[in-house]
């Protein structure tokens, strides 16, 4: 079996109202979707972020730089292909968008391998579980919206939720306090600051939140400030999470060895399943917890679930609660939360099937 073609499309969805975080307000979400075809009719799918958290230029990077390296190759040789593709960016010291391009291709290769072998990716990686607790992940909610959304969280059976703060420091305490009052003491609560705090104010703000028994504070300051994270972690009792904006195992090596956080969050959009699995294993080996970041499409969600299926110490899956057809409509069988848990797809590869009509509807390039 040989790879015969690599197709890349941009899919888009316009939000009815902006989805807000401390560092951006999204009016649109775009993804770069890859299909890798073989001479036996099978194809694998993968994706990564385009605007606003990535770039549509990734499409051209894949078609110009990676596709020629894949044509004629056997899709069974994922390890060798990953090194072949990675060597190109390594030799040029280019890692950011190139890692996103590599991530989309790598996910598609794993999906294809699973289909060839008729097994879900989690089994190929060494399956540990078939379901995992999910937590509801909300964008920034003004204080008046918190009770309704937290009640929805409880009604839908989630046992943990994450809310965003950092946009308005004067309102942060009110937002967290209201969420905790509605959720009660037994439901897990996390906050994501999206680097909305400065290094000088982070300790004071984090200590004020300790009364609300948070499971973690995510990305409180600039994600590249390793000394700032290490200092903050030494001064507060609440666990710190970070890693979604790091795109290589070498960066996670530096994060972990500097003990910057308690929870590390690799995202398969950068480097794909191959790189993310290496990061998870390294983090666990060093005695820390890895919980992959997943705020994206149905394709990335499926890739994340397959990774978690083979990760013994990963304890939860992030489920984006914003209405987004790129997460729910472009596949015929999106996973659902039941009794606080989400089942890891058991069909071959990623375990999902594209709804081609919806894919066509949302394709813009």
Concatenated DSSP letters of 321-334: -S--HHHHTSBS--
| Largest pairwise CA distance in the chain | 60
Residue 32 domain flag: yes
Sign (positive/negative) of CA torsion 57, 121, 75, 353?
negative
Q: 354 is written with which tokens?
A: 């594209």
- Tokens 């003004």: give the residue: 142
Domain closes at, from 95, 118, 141: 118
Same domain membership, residue 271 and residue 138:
yes
Domain that holds residue 277: 123-355
CA pair distance 18, 232, nearest whole angstrom: 31
Q: What is the CA radius of gyration of the chain?
A: 20
Q: How far is CA 309 from CA 56, 262, 303, in A?
A: 30, 21, 10
Same domain membership, residue 172 and residue 44:
no
Whether omega for the bond prior to residue 71 falls within 30 degrees of 0, making it cis, is no
- Give me the CATH number covering residue 350: 3.20.20.120
In tens digits, the chain (365 residues) has pLDDT values of 999 999 999 999 999 999 999 989 999 999 999 999 999 999 999 999 999 999 999 999 999 999 999 999 999 999 999 999 988 777 665 667 899 999 999 999 999 999 999 999 999 999 999 999 999 999 999 999 999 999 999 999 999 999 999 999 889 999 999 999 999 999 999 999 999 999 999 999 999 999 999 999 999 999 999 999 999 999 999 999 999 999 889 999 999 999 999 999 999 998 999 999 999 999 999 999 999 999 989 999 999 999 999 999 999 999 999 999 999 999 998 888 999 999 999 999 999 999 999 999 999 99
Length reported for the chain? 365
Number of structural domains in the chain:
2
Same domain membership, residue 206 and residue 250:
yes
Question: Which residues in 290-308 are b (16+ Cβ under 10 Å) and which e?
Answer: bbbbbbbbbbbbbbbbbbb
Residue 362 domain flag: no
Look at residue 339 and give its three-state secondary structure: coil
Rounded to two decimals, what is the model's pTM? 0.96
Q: Say if residues 276 and 307 touch (Cβ distance below 8 Å).
A: yes
**φ, ψ for residue 340, nearest 5 deg:** 80, 0
Residue 360 domain flag: no
Q: 144 is written with which tokens?
A: 């008046």
Question: Nearest to residue 143, comparing CAs of 171, 183, 181?
Answer: 171
Q: 290 is written with which tokens?
A: 């890895």
Same domain membership, residue 262 and residue 184:
yes
Same domain membership, residue 147 and residue 246:
yes
Same domain membership, residue 163 and residue 60:
no
């Amino acid at each position: 079996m040989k790879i015969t073609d690599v197709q890349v499309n941009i899919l888009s969805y316009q939000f009815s109202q902006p989805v807000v975080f401390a560092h951006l307000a999204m009016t649109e979400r775009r993804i770069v979707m890859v299909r890798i075809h073989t001479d036996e009719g099978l194809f694998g799918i993968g994706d990564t972020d385009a605007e606003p958290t990535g770039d549509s230029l990734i499409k051209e990077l894949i078609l110009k730089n990676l596709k020629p390296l894949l044509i004629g190759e056997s899709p069974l040789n994922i390890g060798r292909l990953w090194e072949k593709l990675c060597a190109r960016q390594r030799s040029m010291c280019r890692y950011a968008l190139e890692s996103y391009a590599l991530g989309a291709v790598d996910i598609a290769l794993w999906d294809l391998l699973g289909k060839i072998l008729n097994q879900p990716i989690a089994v190929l990686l060494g399956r540990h579980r078939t379901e995992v607790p999910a937590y509801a992940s909300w964008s920034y909610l003004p204080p008046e919206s918190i009770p309704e959304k937290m009640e929805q969280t409880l009604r839908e059976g989630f046992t943990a939720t994450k809310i965003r703060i950092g946009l308005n420091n004067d309102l942060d305490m009110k937002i967290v306090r209201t969420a905790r009052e509605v959720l009660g003491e037994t439901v897990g609560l996390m906050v994501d600051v999206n680097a909305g705090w400065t290094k000088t104010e982070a300790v004071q703000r984090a200590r004020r939140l300790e009364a609300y028994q948070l499971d973690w504070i995510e990305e409180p300051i600039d994600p590249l400030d390793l000394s700032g994270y290490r200092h903050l972690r030494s001064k507060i009792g609440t666990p710190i999470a970070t890693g979604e904006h790091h795109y290589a195992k070498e960066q996670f090596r530096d994060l972990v060895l500097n003990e910057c956080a308690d929870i590390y969050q690799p995202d398969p959009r950068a480097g794909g399943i191959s790189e993310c699995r290496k990061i998870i294993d390294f983090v666990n080996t060093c005695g820390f917890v890895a919980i992959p970041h997943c705020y994206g499409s149905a394709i990335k969600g499926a890739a994340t679930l397959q990774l978690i299926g083979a990760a013994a110490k990963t304890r939860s899956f992030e489920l984006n609660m914003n209405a987004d057809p790129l997460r729910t409509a472009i596949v015929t069988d999106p996973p659902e939360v039941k009794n606080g848990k989400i089942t890891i797809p058991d069909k071959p590869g990623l375990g999902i099937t594209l709804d081609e009509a919806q894919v066509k509807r949302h394709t813009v390039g």
